[in-house]
Amino acid sequence: MKNIARKILFSHTTIKEYQSVTINGTIQEKVYLKTENFFIDISETNYLLCLEPMIFGIWLSKEEGVVTLQEESQFRMHFTDSICDNKSLKKNSTAILTLDFFNKIEDECGTLLLLKLKRSRLHHISLFKILFLFFGYYRKPGVSFNKFKSYVSAFSYPRRVRLISFTQNDYYNIFPMDLLGEIKNCNRYVFGLRHSNAALAKIMETKKIVVSEVSHTYKNTIYHLGKYHKENPSSFDSLSFKTTHTSNFGFYIPEWVQSYKEIKILETMNLGSQMLLWGEVVNEKTLNRFESNLYHIHFLLYLHQQKKRHGYQLVEY
């Protein structure tokens, strides 16, 4: 019966939880932050930083009037598939999140506002199809429908995958992340590393980390490195690629990365399942020509894009 329903509802579609895509051009989705008296486009300045509880970082520069925001405000994030104004926002939202103030990081050029998810509503596809996918494919031990909705919401905007590198004496680790973000024009970077990450303690001790931009063409290698989140990597001799060193820290990075940034950690904060690292870019370098990056989106966003007859290129190799 389940297979029959699947063929009727999602014919010619392979059901996954997340899709790996690459984006040629600009991201078409938008994200807006709204309070009683505040409305702003945060598409390029919203960062998913923690999963349990789900916490977003919202960067607001000094010029954006962050002083008008009150910590007791009711915050809403609207994920849309196109540019919207305040009036058309609700009608065109694929996901609407209600959030509470959690904390903030004050910096000389702005504020990183940390908001904790309270509840979410989904509008990608019909509720019937959403329930079918959850109970038929996505329900797992410990994952409630509300938690599932939070994952869908967070990945209703493409999250870019980057490589993290750390080296100390004979120890090294290289692994991918999508819970991070670059604060452009401010030389700042923010990361949300799991407490179970094998390199976290060493990164916090030395206050150094390197983040690299990578091409989607290395998807398989990137995902293979993903197992090193929780375990120490194998020897250099077993790596399937050659490495080089960053110029200041001397950290190992794959020689095929497009560019890298060496970052000094300025502040840390325990968010829950993740540790927030707030850092300053102290050196950056371009090594190879640009190729489009790898991104993660939720399958429900992919279905919504198909319904609208547009979408990003899937990365399947």
Query: Which residue segments constitute the domains of the chain, with CATH numbers given?
Result: 28-158 (2.30.110.10), 162-292 (2.30.110.10)
Q: How far is CA 46 from CA 77, 132, 159, 172, 206, in A?
A: 10, 30, 10, 30, 27
Q: Are 5 and 281 in contact (CB under 8 A)?
A: no
Kindly indicate the confidence band of residue 62, based on its pLDDT and cuts at 50, 70 and 90: confident
* Mean pLDDT (the chain, rounded): 91
Instruction: List strand residue ranges (DSSP E) for the chain, in order.
Output: 18-22, 30-34, 39-41, 46-51, 54-61, 75-80, 93-107, 110-122, 159-160, 162-168, 171-177, 180-183, 188-194, 208-213, 243-245, 252-254, 259-270, 274-286, 294-298, 313-314
Range in 14-23, 183-192, 308-317 the model is least confident about:
308-317
Residues 289-308: what's their mean pLDDT? 94
Q: Are 138 and 120 in contact (CB under 8 A)?
A: no
Range in 177-191, 226-240, 272-286 the model is least confident about:
226-240
More confidently predicted of 171 and 11: 171
pLDDT number for residue 129: 93
Asked if the peptide bond before residue 53 counts as cis, ω within 30 degrees of 0, the response is yes
Q: What is the pLDDT of residues 146-186, one digit of tens each?
A: 999 999 999 999 999 999 999 999 899 999 999 999 998 89
Q: Are 94 and 80 in contact (CB under 8 A)?
A: yes
Q: What is the DSSP letter of 135?
A: I
Range in 67-71, 114-118, 149-153 the model is least confident about:
67-71
